[in-house]
Amino acid sequence: MAKLSTKDLQNGSLAEAVAARMRELLIAGEFAPGQKLSEQTVAGQFEVSRNTLREVFRLLTSQRLLKHIANRGVFVVAPDEAAVIDIYRVRSVIQKGAVQATVKGHPALARMRVLSEQAKQASSVGNWRQVGTINMEFHRAMVELSDSPRLSACFDLVLAELRLVFGQLKDAAHLHEPYIELNACLVRTLEDGEIPAAVLQLEAYLLRSERGVLAALQRKIG
């Protein structure tokens, strides 16, 4: 297990700082899916009290990264096939809803262009980890086209869950690679204001991506 130092003082409370740190570890796949997290043990590892860790657990449980079972403790979520399918259903509804509300010249659209180009650069260098991060940001920007903080919040939840899935797969490194060009293409279509075409491209992207994730999941878990 990696070092669990949380000396890096984030703004806000200690519980939030630990939650943020633990979130990173979870998404990085440092914990096994389904693993039970003992309050005493984890509190010791993060050097916080049990009460504070409980608040951390509540935080991460509400973000669907942990699962709380009464009188049994908290466990790392283990997303299965159904979860992935559901996640992509949410993505489809929300992202299509956002794209359909696109107005030309929206700052989020400019951000999508920048991120799309950054992804191309990162992939040319072979930094697949960063490609994944940028890709996530790209899709977050897409949802921000809807100018809806609540839709963005909901989307962030499923995206975090999806990142957890990626982290739990072993070879997820260049799982995003084929979609860099699709993203760039989508940006152009949106900048031209061709909404229906953009929706079709998005649907194609989501379908391919979902299949890829499901395949990788079945390959590793069976």
Partner DNA sequence: GAATTCATATTGTTGAACAATCATACCTGT
Partner DNA sequence: ACAGGTATGATTGTTCAACAATATGAATTC
Chain residues binding a copy of itself by CB under 8 A are: 12-13, 51, 54-55, 58-59, 62, 70, 86-87, 89-90, 92-94, 96-98, 146-151, 154, 157-158
Q: Considering the rule CB under 7 A, would residue 7 count as an interface residue with DNA?
A: no
DSSP track, 110-167: HHHHHHHHHHHHHHHHT-HHHHHHHHHHHHHHHHHTT--HHHHHHHHHHHHHHHHHHH
Residue 7 or 104 having the CB closest to DNA = 7
Give one DSSP letter per residue of 192-222, joined into a string: TT-HHHHHHHHHHHHHHHHHHHHHHHHHHH-
User: What distance in Å separates the CA atoms of residue 78 and residue 32, rounded to the nearest whole number?
Assistant: 8
Contact between 55 and DNA per CB under 7 A: yes
Is residue 173 a contact residue for DNA (CB under 7 A)?
no
Residue of 36, 174, 188, 208 that binds DNA (CB under 7 A)? 36
**In the complex with DNA, which residue's Cβ is closer, 74 or 131?**
74
Residue among 69 and 82 whose Cβ is closer to DNA: 69
10 binds, among DNA, a copy of itself, none (CB under 5 to 8 A by kind): none
Residue closer to DNA by CB (options 52, 92) is 52
User: Could you tell me the two tokens for 32?
Assistant: 């096994």
Select from DNA, a copy of itself, none the partner in contact with residue 180, using the beta carbon and a kind-dependent cut-off of 5 to 8 Å. none
Q: Counting contacts by CB under 7 A, is residue 40 touching DNA?
A: yes
Q: Which residue number, 20 or 90, has a Cβ lying nearer to a copy of itself? A: 90
Contact 105, 121 (CB under 8 A): no
Partner from DNA, a copy of itself, none binding residue 86, C-beta < 5-8 Å depending on class: a copy of itself
Q: In angstroms, rounded to a whole number, what is the distance separating the alpha carbons of residues 195 and 102? A: 8
Residues 6+ apart with CB under 8 A from 54: 39
Distances (CA, A) of 200 to 125, 180, 186, 195: 30, 17, 10, 9
Q: Does 76 participate in binding DNA (rule CB under 7 A)?
A: no
Give me 39's structure tokens: 């309050």
Q: Which residue in the block uniquely carries the two structure tokens 């949380």?
A: 6
Point out which residues bind DNA (CB under 7 A): 13-15, 36-40, 47-52, 54-55, 68, 70-74
